[in-house]
Amino acid sequence: MNISVDVVLSQSEPLTCEADIWLVIDILRATSVISRWFELGGKIIYPVIEPEDALKLAEKLKAQGETPLLMGERHAVLIDGFNLGNSPLDLKPEIINKYSCAVMSTTNGTAALNTAFKNNKPVISVCARNAKAAVKYALNYLNKNNEFKIGILCSGRHKRTAWDDTLCAGLLIEILKDICGNNLVIADCARLSLELWQNHKHEFYNSIMTAEHAKFLDNLGFGRDIKFACEIDAAQVAPVLYYNENLDSIYLKN
Ligand code: MLT
Protein backbone atom coordinates (compact mmCIF):
# COMPACT_ATOMS: atom_id res chain seq x y z
CA MET A 1 0.00 0.00 0.00
CA ASN A 2 1.33 3.43 -0.94
CA ILE A 3 -0.44 6.40 0.64
CA SER A 4 0.88 9.90 0.22
CA VAL A 5 -0.14 13.25 1.65
CA ASP A 6 0.57 16.75 0.46
CA VAL A 7 -0.49 20.15 1.75
CA VAL A 8 -1.32 23.31 -0.18
CA LEU A 9 -0.56 25.99 2.38
CA SER A 10 -2.77 28.75 0.99
CA GLN A 11 -5.43 29.06 -1.68
CA SER A 12 -3.30 31.39 -3.81
CA GLU A 13 -1.23 28.34 -4.76
CA PRO A 14 -2.47 26.34 -7.73
CA LEU A 15 -3.62 22.88 -6.67
CA THR A 16 -0.99 21.23 -8.80
CA CYS A 17 -0.60 18.18 -6.59
CA GLU A 18 -3.06 15.65 -7.87
CA ALA A 19 -4.97 14.16 -5.00
CA ASP A 20 -7.69 11.50 -4.86
CA ILE A 21 -9.48 13.33 -2.08
CA TRP A 22 -9.19 16.81 -0.58
CA LEU A 23 -9.46 17.90 3.03
CA VAL A 24 -10.17 21.63 3.33
CA ILE A 25 -9.24 23.45 6.55
CA ASP A 26 -10.30 26.85 7.87
CA ILE A 27 -10.02 26.24 11.59
CA LEU A 28 -10.67 29.96 12.34
CA ARG A 29 -13.52 29.76 11.81
CA ALA A 30 -15.41 28.53 8.75
CA THR A 31 -14.80 24.80 9.01
CA SER A 32 -15.29 24.91 12.80
CA VAL A 33 -18.70 26.52 12.18
CA ILE A 34 -19.47 23.83 9.58
CA SER A 35 -18.52 21.13 12.08
CA ARG A 36 -20.80 22.70 14.71
CA TRP A 37 -23.75 22.84 12.29
CA PHE A 38 -23.51 19.11 11.62
CA GLU A 39 -22.66 18.22 15.22
CA LEU A 40 -26.01 19.72 16.18
CA GLY A 41 -27.86 17.77 13.51
CA GLY A 42 -28.02 20.44 10.79
CA LYS A 43 -28.75 18.94 7.38
CA ILE A 44 -27.24 20.90 4.49
CA ILE A 45 -24.89 23.86 4.08
CA TYR A 46 -24.40 25.66 0.77
CA PRO A 47 -20.92 27.30 0.85
CA VAL A 48 -20.99 30.36 -1.40
CA ILE A 49 -18.10 32.68 -2.26
CA GLU A 50 -19.84 36.07 -2.54
CA PRO A 51 -22.46 37.38 -0.07
CA GLU A 52 -24.65 38.70 -2.95
CA ASP A 53 -24.75 35.19 -4.42
CA ALA A 54 -25.59 33.78 -1.01
CA LEU A 55 -28.57 36.15 -0.76
CA LYS A 56 -29.72 35.12 -4.24
CA LEU A 57 -29.35 31.42 -3.46
CA ALA A 58 -31.35 31.87 -0.26
CA GLU A 59 -34.16 33.44 -2.31
CA LYS A 60 -34.13 30.51 -4.74
CA LEU A 61 -34.25 28.06 -1.84
CA LYS A 62 -37.18 29.93 -0.27
CA ALA A 63 -39.01 29.75 -3.61
CA GLN A 64 -38.59 25.95 -3.39
CA GLY A 65 -40.16 25.91 0.08
CA GLU A 66 -36.89 25.71 2.04
CA THR A 67 -36.09 27.79 5.11
CA PRO A 68 -32.40 28.73 4.74
CA LEU A 69 -30.30 30.27 7.49
CA LEU A 70 -27.92 32.86 6.04
CA MET A 71 -24.67 32.82 7.97
CA GLY A 72 -21.16 34.11 7.46
CA GLU A 73 -18.93 37.13 7.77
CA ARG A 74 -16.88 39.82 6.15
CA HIS A 75 -14.08 41.24 8.32
CA ALA A 76 -15.25 38.66 10.88
CA VAL A 77 -18.62 40.32 11.48
CA LEU A 78 -22.24 39.79 10.42
CA ILE A 79 -23.10 40.62 6.79
CA ASP A 80 -26.08 42.92 6.08
CA GLY A 81 -29.18 40.85 5.41
CA PHE A 82 -27.72 37.70 7.00
CA ASN A 83 -29.22 35.96 10.03
CA LEU A 84 -25.99 34.99 11.80
CA GLY A 85 -22.30 35.83 11.79
CA ASN A 86 -19.50 33.29 11.85
CA SER A 87 -19.39 32.33 15.53
CA PRO A 88 -19.80 28.57 15.96
CA LEU A 89 -21.23 29.09 19.42
CA ASP A 90 -24.06 31.23 18.05
CA LEU A 91 -25.35 28.06 16.40
CA LYS A 92 -27.69 26.56 18.96
CA PRO A 93 -29.98 23.53 18.63
CA GLU A 94 -33.09 25.74 18.72
CA ILE A 95 -31.71 27.81 15.82
CA ILE A 96 -30.70 24.82 13.74
CA ASN A 97 -34.11 23.21 14.25
CA LYS A 98 -35.79 26.27 12.74
CA TYR A 99 -33.98 26.03 9.38
CA SER A 100 -33.95 23.31 6.73
CA CYS A 101 -30.50 24.33 5.46
CA ALA A 102 -27.85 27.04 5.70
CA VAL A 103 -26.26 29.26 3.08
CA MET A 104 -22.81 30.35 4.19
CA SER A 105 -20.38 32.92 2.85
CA THR A 106 -17.05 33.70 4.54
CA THR A 107 -13.88 35.49 3.49
CA ASN A 108 -11.61 32.49 3.04
CA GLY A 109 -13.26 29.21 4.00
CA THR A 110 -16.18 29.03 1.59
CA ALA A 111 -13.89 30.15 -1.27
CA ALA A 112 -11.42 27.36 -0.46
CA LEU A 113 -14.22 24.76 -0.50
CA ASN A 114 -15.34 25.99 -3.93
CA THR A 115 -11.74 25.91 -5.20
CA ALA A 116 -11.17 22.35 -4.00
CA PHE A 117 -14.45 21.20 -5.54
CA LYS A 118 -13.23 22.19 -9.03
CA ASN A 119 -10.82 19.23 -8.95
CA ASN A 120 -13.68 16.75 -9.40
CA LYS A 121 -12.56 14.73 -6.41
CA PRO A 122 -14.33 14.26 -3.08
CA VAL A 123 -13.86 17.17 -0.68
CA ILE A 124 -14.27 17.04 3.09
CA SER A 125 -14.59 20.04 5.39
CA VAL A 126 -12.24 19.61 8.33
CA CYS A 127 -11.03 21.37 11.45
CA ALA A 128 -9.48 20.21 14.72
CA ARG A 129 -12.89 19.23 16.11
CA ASN A 130 -13.53 16.63 13.41
CA ALA A 131 -9.90 15.85 12.53
CA LYS A 132 -9.97 12.11 13.23
CA ALA A 133 -13.48 11.60 11.86
CA ALA A 134 -12.52 13.32 8.58
CA VAL A 135 -9.25 11.41 8.19
CA LYS A 136 -11.03 8.10 8.84
CA TYR A 137 -13.70 8.98 6.30
CA ALA A 138 -11.01 9.73 3.70
CA LEU A 139 -9.17 6.48 4.38
CA ASN A 140 -12.35 4.40 4.25
CA TYR A 141 -13.32 6.05 1.00
CA LEU A 142 -9.94 5.33 -0.61
CA ASN A 143 -9.43 1.97 1.02
CA LYS A 144 -10.19 -0.06 -2.11
CA ASN A 145 -7.11 1.34 -3.92
CA ASN A 146 -3.57 0.24 -3.29
CA GLU A 147 -2.11 3.61 -4.04
CA PHE A 148 -3.69 6.96 -3.29
CA LYS A 149 -2.92 10.53 -2.45
CA ILE A 150 -4.59 12.77 0.11
CA GLY A 151 -4.47 16.52 -0.51
CA ILE A 152 -4.97 19.05 2.27
CA LEU A 153 -5.93 22.58 1.30
CA CYS A 154 -5.41 25.25 3.95
CA SER A 155 -7.74 28.21 3.37
CA GLY A 156 -5.13 30.52 4.86
CA ARG A 157 -5.79 34.20 5.34
CA HIS A 158 -6.21 36.71 2.54
CA LYS A 159 -4.60 34.23 0.14
CA ARG A 160 -1.53 33.78 2.36
CA THR A 161 -0.35 30.95 4.57
CA ALA A 162 -1.82 31.07 8.08
CA TRP A 163 -0.24 29.64 11.23
CA ASP A 164 -3.54 28.25 12.51
CA ASP A 165 -4.48 26.26 9.38
CA THR A 166 -0.93 25.00 8.91
CA LEU A 167 -0.90 23.73 12.48
CA CYS A 168 -4.23 21.98 11.94
CA ALA A 169 -2.87 20.38 8.74
CA GLY A 170 -0.05 18.96 10.87
CA LEU A 171 -2.60 17.46 13.25
CA LEU A 172 -4.28 15.68 10.30
CA ILE A 173 -0.96 14.33 9.09
CA GLU A 174 -0.10 13.01 12.54
CA ILE A 175 -3.44 11.17 12.62
CA LEU A 176 -2.73 9.76 9.15
CA LYS A 177 0.75 8.71 10.27
CA ASP A 178 -0.62 6.98 13.36
CA ILE A 179 -3.04 4.99 11.22
CA CYS A 180 -0.88 4.30 8.15
CA GLY A 181 2.56 3.99 9.74
CA ASN A 182 5.41 3.52 7.28
CA ASN A 183 2.99 3.33 4.36
CA LEU A 184 2.60 7.10 4.48
CA VAL A 185 4.74 9.20 2.14
CA ILE A 186 4.90 12.79 3.36
CA ALA A 187 5.59 15.56 0.81
CA ASP A 188 7.65 18.62 1.77
CA CYS A 189 4.76 20.98 2.58
CA ALA A 190 3.07 18.21 4.55
CA ARG A 191 6.30 17.78 6.48
CA LEU A 192 6.41 21.50 7.24
CA SER A 193 2.92 21.24 8.74
CA LEU A 194 3.73 18.07 10.63
CA GLU A 195 6.89 19.49 12.16
CA LEU A 196 5.04 22.68 13.13
CA TRP A 197 2.38 20.55 14.79
CA GLN A 198 4.92 18.35 16.58
CA ASN A 199 6.63 21.43 17.98
CA HIS A 200 3.44 23.06 19.23
CA LYS A 201 0.90 20.33 19.90
CA HIS A 202 1.48 20.37 23.66
CA GLU A 203 0.37 23.98 23.77
CA PHE A 204 -2.06 23.86 20.85
CA TYR A 205 -4.47 26.53 22.10
CA ASN A 206 -1.69 28.91 23.15
CA SER A 207 0.00 28.43 19.83
CA ILE A 208 -3.21 29.07 17.86
CA MET A 209 -3.68 32.23 19.93
CA THR A 210 -0.42 33.60 18.51
CA ALA A 211 -1.82 33.41 14.95
CA GLU A 212 -2.61 36.78 13.31
CA HIS A 213 -6.23 35.81 12.70
CA ALA A 214 -6.68 34.60 16.29
CA LYS A 215 -5.41 37.92 17.63
CA PHE A 216 -7.75 39.75 15.26
CA LEU A 217 -10.72 37.66 16.40
CA ASP A 218 -9.78 37.96 20.06
CA ASN A 219 -9.65 41.77 19.77
CA LEU A 220 -13.18 41.71 18.38
CA GLY A 221 -14.37 39.66 21.37
CA PHE A 222 -14.50 36.27 19.63
CA GLY A 223 -11.98 34.58 21.96
CA ARG A 224 -14.42 31.83 22.94
CA ASP A 225 -14.73 30.77 19.29
CA ILE A 226 -11.00 30.06 19.27
CA LYS A 227 -11.24 27.88 22.37
CA PHE A 228 -14.10 25.98 20.76
CA ALA A 229 -12.11 25.50 17.55
CA CYS A 230 -9.22 24.01 19.54
CA GLU A 231 -11.26 21.11 20.98
CA ILE A 232 -9.55 18.29 19.13
CA ASP A 233 -11.76 15.35 18.06
CA ALA A 234 -14.80 16.66 19.90
CA ALA A 235 -16.99 15.86 16.88
CA GLN A 236 -17.75 12.77 14.83
CA VAL A 237 -18.79 14.46 11.62
CA ALA A 238 -17.36 14.34 8.10
CA PRO A 239 -19.12 16.95 5.94
CA VAL A 240 -18.62 16.08 2.26
CA LEU A 241 -19.24 18.34 -0.76
CA TYR A 242 -21.78 17.55 -3.49
CA TYR A 243 -23.20 19.51 -6.39
CA ASN A 244 -26.81 20.57 -6.89
CA GLU A 245 -27.34 21.02 -10.62
CA ASN A 246 -30.70 22.80 -10.31
CA LEU A 247 -29.25 25.42 -8.01
CA ASP A 248 -25.81 25.36 -9.67
CA SER A 249 -24.28 25.31 -6.20
CA ILE A 250 -22.14 23.02 -4.14
CA TYR A 251 -23.44 21.83 -0.79
CA LEU A 252 -22.13 20.01 2.26
CA LYS A 253 -23.79 17.00 3.84
CA ASN A 254 -22.60 14.89 6.74
C1 MLT B 1 -12.97 32.88 6.85
O2 MLT B 1 -13.61 32.09 6.12
O3 MLT B 1 -12.20 33.71 6.39
C4 MLT B 1 -13.10 32.86 8.35
O5 MLT B 1 -14.01 31.97 8.76
C6 MLT B 1 -13.13 34.24 8.92
C7 MLT B 1 -13.68 34.33 10.32
O8 MLT B 1 -13.00 33.99 11.28
O9 MLT B 1 -14.81 34.74 10.51
Residue type, 233: D
pLDDT tens by residue, 15-72: 877 899 999 999 999 999 999 999 999 999 999 999 999 999 999 999 999 999 999 9
Atom of ligand 1 nearest to the CA of 109: 2
Q: What architecture is domain 2-253? A: Alpha-Beta Complex (3.90)
pLDDT tens by residue, 90-100: 999 999 999 99
Mean pLDDT, the chain, rounded, equals: 96
Helical segments of the chain, H only = 30-39, 51-63, 93-98, 109-117, 131-142, 163-180, 188-200, 204-209, 212-219, 223-229
Position 131 scores a pLDDT of 98
Expressed in angstroms and rounded, the spacing between residue 98 Cα and the centre of ligand 1 is 24
- Contact call for residues 41 and 92 (beta carbons, < 8 A): no
Residues with CB under 6 A from ligand 1: 26, 28-30, 73, 76, 86, 106-109, 217
**Which segment of 96-105, 134-143, 190-199 scores lowest on mean pLDDT?**
134-143
Using 50, 70 and 90 to split pLDDT, how confident is the model at 243?
very high
pLDDT tens by residue, 198-211: 999 999 999 999 99
Residue type, 150: I
Position 147 scores a pLDDT of 87
Atom of ligand 1 nearest to the CA of 76: 9
